[in-house]
Amino acid sequence: MNAVPGTPAPGTAAAFAALLRAREPLVGYWCVLDSPVSTERIARLGYDYVALDAQHGLIEYAGVLASLTAIDTKGSTAVGLVRVEANDPMPIGKALDAGAAGVIVPLIDNAQDAADAVAAVRYPPLGNRSYGPMRSGLRIGPNPADAHRETVVLAMIETAEGLANVEAICATDGLDGVYVGPSDLRIALGGATSTDPAVAAEFEAALVRVRTAAAAAGIAAGIHNPDGTAAAKRIAEGFTFATVACDLVHLEQVAAGHLQAARAKGETR
């Protein structure tokens, strides 16, 4: 479909930022492997974004750079996001300079944490990002005002303190959205494991609180999911973006399924 004159071209950082801020439904994929070729193939499938995990994933900076480049190649429908390793201006700035269309910032506990994350994404006078768009200047920005319009910052809600302060976090000036880390949040709510069903009621109530706070503040609300079915459920409930995760787990699941199918009568060795 042709873009309307005067609107950002589909698949660009500017278009993604506009859709996210308008709270339009978006679906992404999560990569933990340092495998630019497989990431490139995923980016061509129709996802709105592909997120690279630089916190818990197996991707160093060179891998982030290569994978962001792969995401932006011919045929891609997606933009690249990076979950940075910490709420710190250095990794945030490096991810953005490498060409990320936005960052997902972990362990946001309060409004000050959220404000610090926003400041690390924005150039002065709106923030403290250092100017040096080595790769991003080719496609995002490079003028500060353009970079501000085309780059998003998302705060993770995954701790008990973050949940307690979610309304204040969502009200942070310049924050584009919040993103639920379900594993950490479930443990923070008292779960013995990252999938403990014993705290299911508390967890579901927390999700309602997060998406309600985001809606009241007029920002996006996202959540991590193990598969597409779960992602569809969360969007139907009111989340505005949902990630399907992840390449390493899905590779293992598909390989296991093929092995089971190939062995007669479920034989094992």
* Catalytic (active-site) positions: 56
* φ, ψ dihedrals at 10, nearest 5°: -55, 145
For 49-104, give the DSSP string: EEEEESSSSS--HHHHHHHHHHHTSTT---EEEEE-SSS-HHHHHHHHHTT-SEEE
Count the neighbouring beta carbons within 10 Å of the beta carbon of residue 215: 15
How far is the C-alpha of 111 from the C-alpha of 166, rounded, in Å? 8
Radius of gyration of the chain (CA): 19
Q: Which residues pair with 103 in a beta bridge?
A: 82, 153
- Find the DSSP H helices in the chain: 13-21, 36-43, 61-71, 89-97, 111-121, 144-150, 160-164, 166-170, 182-188, 200-217, 228-237, 247-262
The vertex-206 CA angle with 176 and 151, nearest 5°, equals 10
How far is the C-alpha of 101 from the C-alpha of 82, rounded, in Å? 8
